[in-house]
Amino acid sequence: MGPAERLRAYHGRTKHSPQSIRTSGHFLDWDNEPARFKEYLDLKAEPLPPFRDSGVAAHAAVAGSPDGDGAVDIEVLSHLLFHAAGVSRTLRTPMGEFHFRTYASAGALYPIEAYVVAGGVHGLEEGVYHYAPRRHGLHLLRSGDRRGDLGLAGADPGSVCLILTGIPWRTAWKYATRGFRHLYWDAGMMLANLLAAAAARGVAARVLLGFVDEAVERVLGVDGRTEFALCAVALGEGAVGPPTDAPALDLAVAPLSPRPLSDPEIEAAREAVRLRTEDEVRAFRQARPEPGGEPRVELPTGHELSDDPLELAVRRRGSSRRLSGEGFPAAEYGAILDRALSGLRGDWLGRVPRAFVSAHALEGLEPGVYEYVPGSGFRPIAEGRFRGRAGHLCLDQRLGADAAATTFLMADLDRSLEALGGRGYAAAQLEAAVAAGRMYLGGYAQCLGASGITFYDDEAREFFRTDAEPMLAMVLGREARRREVIRCRRTLEGG
């Protein structure tokens, strides 16, 4: 069985159903809960400088061009790292501090780490760094320009290459084997913020999935098993020199939890995704999924969008726990989806995820089931009121029913795997997660509540009458609990 077949089998084994949820037997071992931050025992994080806000509207940043010509200096890098991966606020409770991050994370477990491989950043020494979000600083892991050691097979790494890694135990502690999916979900949420922040600061940004995994992990000093590379982002432009044959790193790190556990199925999935040689990297880049036909329907009526800046939308963002069930205009939702589904610039021919919508209270649109076609509108699938059904599909969670609309982002997974091999699984998950992250930004720019939510996989496919596989689900609606978001919405509507 090849990598693509192994990942297709993994995806099937990790699908949720009412029976699998009832019989899983999984429980949360609070005595073995993983830490949410990576701590180097012998390194001190040097603080990054203050940064200026861009002032660019969130909607413009989400839809902005990734081809800017702005330079990446230390102040710009500080801005990008904070909005992609930083700590936005800290809640102090009798049980300790809880750190809210600038991006959405399944279960607020934050299993993603960010690293910087810098070669041409004014104000920052060439080297490899780990981003410390609590301190908004950088740990220097090794000196020197190591961009040529990343196994990119000739791709431009930018003046700085940002690497996102995943720590599977942080998410598997709660979500078991399905947690491998969550690594890409969280990485995609971070990418949505990063790409929007880069557009707002006029910095070119390109997502890279073509790299030799072992080479990247050697540069970062991670073992490729308990922590492994997920994706990279080339920021700015810059010539890169030849490989330096960087020596192995041996840095002391605080234990993740008292008894970190491994999952054989996650390890097998990780192996199936990996690229091992630069020839495999080149073959991945040259592969092209066959394009799919898109139905064209009438464009929805335009809607005036908020001009709130990106930085304000990021600070306002939070995963809603209660939605009111009340509606908002369908044209407004269409405008959010158009930007969310605008695709991303990467080193593979990415596909825009398909968006299937259970519309409950979208003003100007009859309740029912639709597929949303970017730039065109809502294509009807079935008429009717499906709040209860949508709540059931979302693991019988109230949010799925109380949303004004519940949207499933789906992928033609077989086509991605056939064209791109095992790496196609990472591509499909990231494409959907970036779209979901953009929906978060668009929703909170409009002072709406939003949340990512899990689901019964095959029941969702049957409900929407599609062979596509659900990658992520998002709920949007009027906030029912967070007063600042409720007040913001009233102000936006002139109330």
Give the domain CATH number at 216: 3.40.109.10
Confidence (pLDDT) at 294 = 42
Domain boundary among 232, 251, 286: 286
Strands (E), 45-167: 46-47, 87-93, 96-101, 112-118, 127-132, 137-143, 160-166
Statement to judge: residues 268 and 417 lie in one domain: no
pLDDT of residue 289: 64
Tell me which residue range forms the domain holding 364.
310-492
Cβ pair 370, 380 in contact under 8 A = yes
Q: Are 193 and 434 in contact (CB under 8 A)?
A: no
Give me the pLDDT at residue 421, please: 95
C-alpha span between 487 and 69 (Å, rounded) = 38
pTM value?
Answer: 0.95
With contact defined as beta carbons under 8 Å apart, do 47 and 137 qualify? yes
User: Is 143 contained in some domain?
Assistant: yes
Do 205 and 340 lie in one domain? The reply is: no
SS3 206: strand
What are the average pLDDT values for consecutive 10-residue runs of the chain, which has 495 residues?
95 96 89 96 96 95 80 96 94 79 94 96 96 97 95 93 98 97 97 96 96 97 97 89 85 96 97 97 84 42 79 90 94 94 86 94 96 92 97 96 98 94 96 97 96 96 97 96 93 85
- For residue 260, give both structure tokens: 């970190």
Assess if residue 295 is contained within a domain: no
Q: Is residue 324 within 8 Å of residue 478, measured between CB atoms?
A: yes
One domain for residues 219 and 367: no
Q: Which two tokens stand for residue 297?
A: 């329907």
Burial class of residue 153 in the structure, from the number of CB atoms within 10 Å of its CB (0-12 exposed, 13-18 middle, 19+ buried): buried
Cα–Cα distance, 249 to 220 (Å, whole number): 8
The whole-angstrom separation of Cα 350 and Cα 331 is 26
Domain presence at residue 196: yes
Is the domain of 209 the same as that of 62? yes
Looking at the fold, whether 210 and 268 belong to one and the same domain comes out as yes
Q: How many domains is the chain partitioned into structurally?
A: 2
Looking at the structure, tell me whether residues 256 and 364 fall in a common domain: no
What type of residue is 293?
G
Same domain membership, residue 476 and residue 331? yes
The pLDDT of residue 297 is 36
Largest CA distance in the chain: 62
